[in-house]
Amino acid sequence: MMNKNMLRIIAKHEIKLLLRNKVLVYLFTIIFFMLLSALWIGSSMHKKQLSTIDKVHAYNKEITDSLVTRIKRIEANNMVYPGFIWDDPTFAYNTARNEGPQYAIKEPFPLQAISIGQSDLQPFYYKVYINKKQYLTYDGEIANSFLQFIGNFDFAFVVIYLFPLLIIVFTYNVLSAEKEQGTWVLLKTSNQSLARLIAFRIAIRYILFMLFFWLLVTTVLVALLGGAFLSTVNWWWTVTYVSLYFAFWFGLSLFVNSFSLSSTVNAMTLIFIWLFTGIIVPNILQIGLNKVYPIPSRISMVNEERKALNSYFEKDGQELTKEVFNNPRTMIRQASVVTPGMVYGYGVIVYKSQEIKDAAAEVAERKLYGQIARQQDAIRQLQLLSPALTLQEQLAAFAGTHWHQFNQFSIAVDTFRKETQRFYFPKMASEQTYRTFTVEDAARIPRFKQQVYAGFDWLNVYIPVFAYAGITGLMIVFGYRRLLHVIK
Amino acid sequence: MIAHIVRKELREIFRTSKMTWMMGGLLVLIALSLYNGYSYYVSHSQMLKESQEVTYKQFISQGNKNPHLGAHFGFYAYKPTAGLAMIDNGIEDYTGNSFYLEPHKRGIIKFKEVTDATSLKSFGFLNIAYLIQFIFPLFIFLICHNIFSKEWENGTIKMLLSSRATKRDIYIGKLIACLCVVFAIIAIIAVTAFMLLLKSDADLGAVIYNYLIYVSGLIVFSAILTSVAVSVSLITRSSTLSLVVLSGCWLAGVFLIPRLAAEISKKVHPSITSIEFEADTFNKMQYGVDGEGTKDYRRELLLRRTLQQYHVDSIQQLPVFFIPITIEYFEESDGKVMDRAYGAIEQNQAQQDALVRSLSLFSPFLAFRDFSMHMTATDMDTHNDFAQKAEEHRRRIGVMVDDFYQKNTEATNAFWKTVPQFRYEPPDTFRRLAASIEAIGVLLCWVVGTIVLMIFSYRRMKI
C-alpha cells in the first residue's frame, strides 16, 4: 500500500507539474473564464424572464383596472358607451377580445441559469384568448432566428462540450509523456507500484479539478442567484450528474492511457470518442427517431382545422351565417353602422366556429404531441448511448427547461383556455346575455395559476447514474489491470 | 520532385490504419448527410407545395360569406423549400415558413419547426452543410496535423532537408498531398450532391450557378483549413501539440466564437419583449402617433370626409357601405404603426447579425456558414424578402376585399377566385452574392492571413 506521505508527495508533485505547464494553465484560465461567462449569461436570461413576468403582471393590472373603470363609467351613463361599439366592454365578446385575455406564465426556476434547454424556443408566457391558445406577437418571444440557430452559450454547453476536451488535454499523456520524455525508466526504479502511481495521478487530478470547479460554480451561482437553490434536490442531482460526467472522462482517459500508446494516438482516440458520442451519435439518433416517429408539421394541423371549418360552413355554418347575417336585428347586411346585433352575430360565429376548429385541432395536436412524446420516450431509453446527451437531458430536467416541462405548461394552458371559453361562451351565446358583462364578471374572469414546472418525477434519474457509474468503474478497473500488465 | 513528395506523402497517409478508419467513417457520414438532407428537401418541398394549393383551394371554395368574414378565413403563403436546402437548410427550421394572410393583422411567419423538435435538435441537423461546417474541419486537422511534425519526431527532417528536394518542394509537396486528400473528399461530396440535385424536382437551371459558387467557396474554405493545419504542424514540431492547438482552434471557431458572438450581440442589441411590443403597438394604434388623435376621433374625421366626398348628410345616405371604408382606412394607418414596429425589430436583428458577422473575422467557420446559407437561399435575408412579399400580397388582398365589401355584403366563390394565389421566387444569384459579400470578404481576409502564416511557418523549416 502506498502510504499517506507518498500520497502527499504525489499530490504536491502533480500540483507543481500542472502549474508549470503553461499550455494547461492558459487553457484552464480561458475555459474557466468561459464558465463564468456562461453562468452570467444564464443568470441574465433568468433575470430577464423575471423582469418580463413583472411587466406582464403590471400590464395585467393596468388592463384589468381599465376594464373595471370603463364598465363602471358605462353603467353610470345608463349603459351608453361613447366610443366605438367594438370597444364597449359590456359586450362579453368585446371583453373576451380586448381586456379579458389573461396571461399564463411558467415561472423560471433559478437553475434555469445553468441550462437554457428549450426556454429560448418555447414561450414561457401566453396570452390566452377564447379563440387561440396563444397570442404573442410571434410564436414565442421575439427572437432572432439566426442567433437561435447558432445556439446558446450556457453552463450546460460549457460542461458538455468544453470540459471533456479540457479533461482530455489534462490527462491524455499521463503515462505516454513519461515514456516519451524518458522519465519512465527512472520511475521503474521506484519501489512503488507504478500502476497505482498512474491511477493516483489521475485521481488527484480529478479531485483537484472537482474542488476547483464546484467551489467556483457554487460561489458564482450563489452570488448571481442567491442561495435558495442549494436546498433543492434539483441542485444536488445536478452536482451528481456533472461530477459523474467528469469522472467518466477521467476514467476513459485512464483506460485509453492504459493501452500504452503514444500521446498523439491517445489524444486522437479521446477526441474521436468525444466527437462520436457528443455529436455523431445524437445526430444519428435524430435521423433514426425522425424516421420511426416522424413529427407531423403544424401546417398539416392548420389544413385539418380549415378543412373542418370549411365543411362546417358548407352545412350548418351556412344556416347560422344566414340566420345571423340576414337577421334584421343584427343589420350586418346593412354594413354601414355597426350595431349591437352585429357584435352579437360575430361573437356567435366566432365561438361556434372555434368549437369546430378546436375539435379538429385536438385530433391533429394529439398526433403531433404524441409523436414528440414518443421521440422523447425513445430518447430517454437511448440516451445512455451518449454521455453528452444523457447529461443534456438531465440538466434540462433539473433546470426546468426540458421539453416535458414545457409540455406540462402547454397542457395547463390548454385547460385554462377551455376554462376561459366556458366563462365567456355562455355570455356571448344568446341575445339575452351578450351585453351583460359587469364589474362582478370582470372580477370572476378566470386567472391562470402560475407555476414553476421544475419537477422531474417523470424522469428516471437512477438508471443513467448507475449505468455511467458502472461504465466508469469498469473502465477504471480494466484500465488499472491493463496498467499492471503494461508496467510488467 | 514535388510529384515524388506528393506520392510519398499520399502513400504514407493512406498506409496508416487510422486513416482507413477515418476515411471509412467519413464516407458513412457523407452518405448519411446526403440521405438526411435529401429526405428533408423532398418531404418539405412536397408538403409546402401541396399545402399552398390546399389552403388556397380552401379559400376560393369557402362559399357564400360576408366578404370581411371570408377574408378572415384567409389563406397561407408558404415559403417554398429552396432547391439547395438539401445541402444546407440554414435557418429554415428556426424561422418558420408560413405566413397567414388575414385582414387587420400584419402577417408574421409562424410554425418554427424547431419548437416542435426534441432536444436532439440542439446537437445539429446532420446534412452536408453540418458535415462540412462542423465535422469535416476536424477531419482535415486530424489528417494534416502531423504532416510536418512527424518528420521532427521521427528525426527524418534532417534526411528530408539534405535530399535533392528544396525546402520549397517539400513544403509545396506536403501541402499538395494534404490538399489532394481534402479535395478528393470534396469531389465525392460535390458529385454525389449534384446527382441528388438532378434526381430531385429542384429547378436545376435556377440553382446551378449558386451550386457552383457554393462548391467554389467550399474549395477555398477547405484550402484555408488545410493550409492552416500544415503550417501549424510545421510551427509546433510536435504532433500532439499541433493536434491540441488545431483541435482548440476547431472548437473555438466552430462552437465557442459563434455562440459567444451570439450572446454578445444579444447583450449589445437587446430585443424587445413580446409584451412590450404588444403594449406599444396597441397604444399607438389606439391613441395615434404624433398627435393624430384616438381611434374614435379619427373615425369621426373619416366619416365627415366620406360624407363630404359623397355630398350626403348621413351615413344611411351613403351609396357605399361605411364599415369597409373604416376597415381600409385603419388597415392603412395601423399598417404604418406595424411597419415601423416590425422595421425596428428587423433593424435590431440586422444589428445583431452584423455584430456576429464582424466577429466571424476570428472564425472562418462562421464566415463560411454565412456564405453557405446565402448561396443556398436559406438565410435571414431571403426570409425577410419572403416576409415582405407575403405582406405585400396580404395588403393587396385586403384592398380587393374591402373594395368589394363597399358595394356587396356577400361574396361567392366567383369573387374568392379573383383573389390571386401567392407565388414566391427567392433572390437571384447576384443578390445572394451581394448579400454574402461580408462573408466572402472575411474568407478572403482568411486567405491572406493563411498565406502570411504559411510564409511564417515556411521560414521556420530549418534544423
The residue of chain A nearest to residue B105, with distances taken between CA atoms, is A137
Which carries the bigger pLDDT value, residue B157 or residue B223? B223
User: What pLDDT score does A387 carry?
Assistant: 96
CB–CB contacts below 8 A, A to B: 263
Q: How far apart are the first and last CA of chain B?
A: 21
Closest CA to B255 of B114, B404, B134, B348: B134
| Entry pTM | 0.89
Q: Which residues of A touch B321 (CB under 8 A)?
A: 334-336
Cell matching residue B74: 384567409
Are A145 and B258 in contact (CB < 8 Å)? no
In this complex, the residue of B119, B352, B353 whose CB is nearest that of residue A392 is B119
The residue of chain A nearest to residue B248, with distances taken between CA atoms, is A165
The residue of chain A nearest to residue B44, with distances taken between CA atoms, is A297
CB B65 within 8 A of CB B411: yes
In this structure, which long-range contacts are made by residues B46-53, counting pairs with CB atoms below 8 Å and at least 24 apart in sequence? B47/A297, B47/A299, B47/A300, B48/A299, B48/B78, B48/B79, B48/B80, B48/B81, B48/B97, B49/B80, B51/A299, B51/A300, B51/A303, B51/B76, B51/B78, B52/B76, B52/B77, B52/B78, B52/B80, B52/B421, B52/B422
Distance from CA of A3 to the nearest CA of B (A): 34
Give the separation between CA B360 and CA B16, rounded to whole angstroms.
35
Give the separation between CA B197 and CA B35, rounded to whole angstroms.
12
Asked whether residue B155 is domain-assigned, the answer is yes
**pLDDT tens digits along B340-360:** 998 999 999 999 999 999 988
Q: Which residues of B touch A129 (CB under 8 A)?
A: none
Residues 375-404 of A with CB under 8 A from B: 375-376, 379, 388-389, 392-393, 396, 402-403
Domain boundaries, position B340: 1-281+325-460
Q: Mean pLDDT check: name the lowest of B69-73, B301-305, B432-436.
A: B69-73
Residues constituting chain B: 463
Q: What stretch of H or E contains B98?
A: strand B98-101
Give the separation between CA B306 and CA A179, rounded to whole angstroms.
95
Burial (0-12, 13-18, 19+ Cβ within 10 Å), A26: exposed
User: What pLDDT score does A335 carry?
Assistant: 55
CB B111 within 8 A of CB A299: yes
Q: How far apart are the first and last CA of chain A?
A: 18
Are A285 and B119 in contact (CB < 8 Å)? no
Distance from CA of B229 to the nearest CA of A (A): 15
Beta bridge partners of B100: B76
Q: Which residues of B touch A34 (CB under 8 A)?
A: 256, 260
Give the CA count within 13 Å in the CB-facing half-sphere of A374: 15
Are A271 and B138 in contact (CB < 8 Å)? yes
CB A126 within 8 A of CB A103: yes
Q: Of A149, A315, A322, A405, which to mutate for an interface test with B (greatest number of B Cβ within 10 Å)?
A: A149
User: What pLDDT score does B370 carry?
Assistant: 95
Give the CA count within 13 Å in the CB-facing half-sphere of B69: 31
Tell me if chain B has a CB within 8 Å of the CB of A144: yes
- Cβ contacts of residue B262 below 8 Å, gap of 6+? A147, A150, A151, A152, A153, B352, B356
Distance from CA of B54 to the nearest CA of A (A): 7
In this complex, the residue of B95, B114, B315 whose CB is nearest that of residue A336 is B315
Sign of CA dihedral A360, A364, A367, A368: negative
- Asked if pLDDT for residue B325 goes beyond 80, the answer is yes
User: What pLDDT score does A325 carry?
Assistant: 64
Tell me if chain B has a CB within 8 Å of the CB of A288: no
Tell me if chain B has a CB within 8 Å of the CB of A335: yes
Asked whether residue B141 is domain-assigned, the answer is yes
Mean pLDDT (chain A, rounded)? 86
Are A389 and B120 in contact (CB < 8 Å)? yes
With cut-offs at 50, 70 and 90, classify the pLDDT of residue B433.
Answer: very high
Burial (0-12, 13-18, 19+ Cβ within 10 Å), A455: middle
User: What pLDDT score does B379 carry?
Assistant: 93
Which carries the bigger pLDDT value, residue B267 or residue B105? B267
Q: Which residues of A touch B134 (CB under 8 A)?
A: 279
User: What pLDDT score does B328 carry?
Assistant: 85
In this complex, the residue of B32, B73, B265 whose CB is nearest that of residue A147 is B265
Q: Which residues of A touch B267 (CB under 8 A)?
A: 44
Distance from CA of B188 to the nearest CA of A (A): 20
Tell me if chain B has a CB within 8 Å of the CB of A481: no
Give the separation between CA B127 and CA B30, rounded to whole angstroms.
8
Q: Which residues of B touch A403 (CB under 8 A)?
A: 118-119
Tell me if chain B has a CB within 8 Å of the CB of A292: no
Closest CA to B226 of B157, B165, B177: B177
Are B321 and A336 in contact (CB < 8 Å)? yes
Distance from CA of B408 to the nearest CA of A (A): 9
Are A279 and B135 in contact (CB < 8 Å)? yes
Q: What is the mean pLDDT of residues B387-416?
A: 89
User: What pLDDT score does B178 carry?
Assistant: 94
User: What pLDDT score does A333 carry?
Assistant: 46
Distance of alpha carbon A416 from the chain centroid:
22
The owner of cell 379559400 is: B59
CB B330 within 8 A of CB B297: no
The residue of chain B nearest to residue A306, with distances taken between CA atoms, is B58
CB A153 within 8 A of CB A37: yes
The residue of chain A nearest to residue B153, with distances taken between CA atoms, is A180
SS3 content of chain A, % helix, strand, coil (to 5): 75, 0, 25
Distance from CA of B342 to the nearest CA of A (A): 10
User: What pLDDT score does B22 carry?
Assistant: 86
CB A122 within 8 A of CB A140: yes
Distance from CA of B64 to the nearest CA of A (A): 8
User: What pLDDT score does A307 carry?
Assistant: 83
Are A283 and B94 in contact (CB < 8 Å)? no
Cα→Cα distances B282→A55, A346, B251, B273, B279, Å: 15, 22, 45, 14, 5
User: What pLDDT score does A284 carry?
Assistant: 93
The residue of chain B nearest to residue A37, with distances taken between CA atoms, is B260
pLDDT < 50 stretches in chain A: 136, 332-333
Closest CA to A352 of A436, A462, A430, A256: A430
Q: Of B38, B263, B323, which to mutate for an interface test with A (greatest number of A Cβ within 10 Å)?
A: B263
Asked whether residue B197 is domain-assigned, the answer is yes
Which carries the bigger pLDDT value, residue B286 or residue A444? A444
As a dihedral over the C-alpha atoms of residue A216, residue A222, residue A224, residue A226, rounded to 10 degrees, the angle is: 180
Are A141 and B323 in contact (CB < 8 Å)? no
Are B116 and A396 in contact (CB < 8 Å)? no
Burial (0-12, 13-18, 19+ Cβ within 10 Å), A22: exposed
Are B111 and A299 in contact (CB < 8 Å)? yes
Tell me if chain B has a CB within 8 Å of the CB of A267: yes
Q: For chain A, how many helices (H) and strands (E)?
A: 19, 2
User: What pLDDT score does B267 carry?
Assistant: 92
Distance from CA of B176 to the nearest CA of A (A): 23
Tell me if chain B has a CB within 8 Å of the CB of A37: yes
The owner of cell 491540441 is: B244
Give the separation between CA B6 and CA B12, rounded to whole angstroms.
10
Q: How many CB atoms within 10 Å of residue A94? A: 24
Domain boundaries, position A96: 1-488
Give the separation between CA B425 and CA B61, rounded to whole angstroms.
26
Q: Which residues of A touch B121 (CB under 8 A)?
A: 286
Number of domains in chain A: 1
Q: How many CB atoms within 10 Å of residue B16? A: 11
Distance from CA of B164 to the nearest CA of A (A): 30
Q: Which residues of B touch A43 (CB under 8 A)?
A: none
Closest CA to A399 of A63, A157, A103: A157
Q: What stretch of H or E contains B77?
A: strand B75-78
* Cα angle B20-B23-B25, degrees, rounded to a multiple of 5: 105
Number of domains in chain B: 1
